[in-house]
Amino acid sequence: MSSEPIALGRLLASRGVASRRKSEDLIAEGKVTVNGELADHPAMEVDPDLDQIRVDGNLLPDLPPPLYYLLFKPKGCITSRDDPQGRKSVFDYVELPHRVEPVGRLDFDTEGALLLTNDGSLAHALTHPSRQIPKRYRVKVWKRPSDRALKNIAEGKVFLEDGRVPPCKVRVVDDTDGGNTWLEITVTEGRNRLIRRLFAQIGHPVSKLRRETFATISVRGMDRGQIRPLTSEEVRRLHDLAEGRQPERAGRVKYKEGYARPKPKKRRHGQRKKGRGARSQRRS
């Protein structure tokens, strides 16, 4: 029995051979064959159960298990694998048995939560603008923004060169001895350097920036450079968000129609029933 046909470039990426873009480069360089013939385009459809696919003469590896990790990205490293400038990469902190890719990006000078996975469909959904995935940041800015400036951020009244910034949750966390301010802000967009450009636009440039959570997954309790696997509840939460479920309900167990919910625990013998009736009995 064969599987569903799939685009060759997508298949190579799903098997951990390379990223989608690098897979396309391998095909263009003539390093991929299908049934002994050179592949001519990354969009050509293949059946991994019927077609023999080789990369640099080696058979296509088996489908790896799905992996989901969180990295506390340190400041001073990039989120891609290769850099012409020779800067440090987040993959210098990652030693895993299978290839993973970052979900979205963090700037060179920004630290914090960075998801890593080989689940391409989930990564695509979590970075698609229509999903409005929440990302919470802790940001240190020059001086303290006025209440009016913060209100404009909250009401979506700040405009950048590439358009309006949608409403963001924002609050003051603390003031420093030097007269600067720590803020917490939650955005649902992934535009390049959005937080830095937003505060620069209102006259309060950013000096420090840390992403506390991505899609509700937090780096709390982690050290810079530390990587950990996600829990099953966190993975379920990500899939719920990818399907459009609200963040406050993501990860909760859903009960299908026709299935009984768990029964409440029975009271022990002699244990008083809580509630209005119990209170009225005590008063009588």
Residues with catalytic function: 107
Q: What is the Cα–Cα distance from 173 to 231, expressed in whole angstroms?
A: 29
* 3-state DSSP assignment of residue 264: coil
Per-residue burial over 146-180, b = 16 or more CB atoms within 10 Å of its CB, e = otherwise = eeebbebbeeeebeeeeeebeebebeeeeeeeeeb
What is the residue whose two structure tokens read 């917490």?
184
CB atoms within 10 A of CB 265: 6
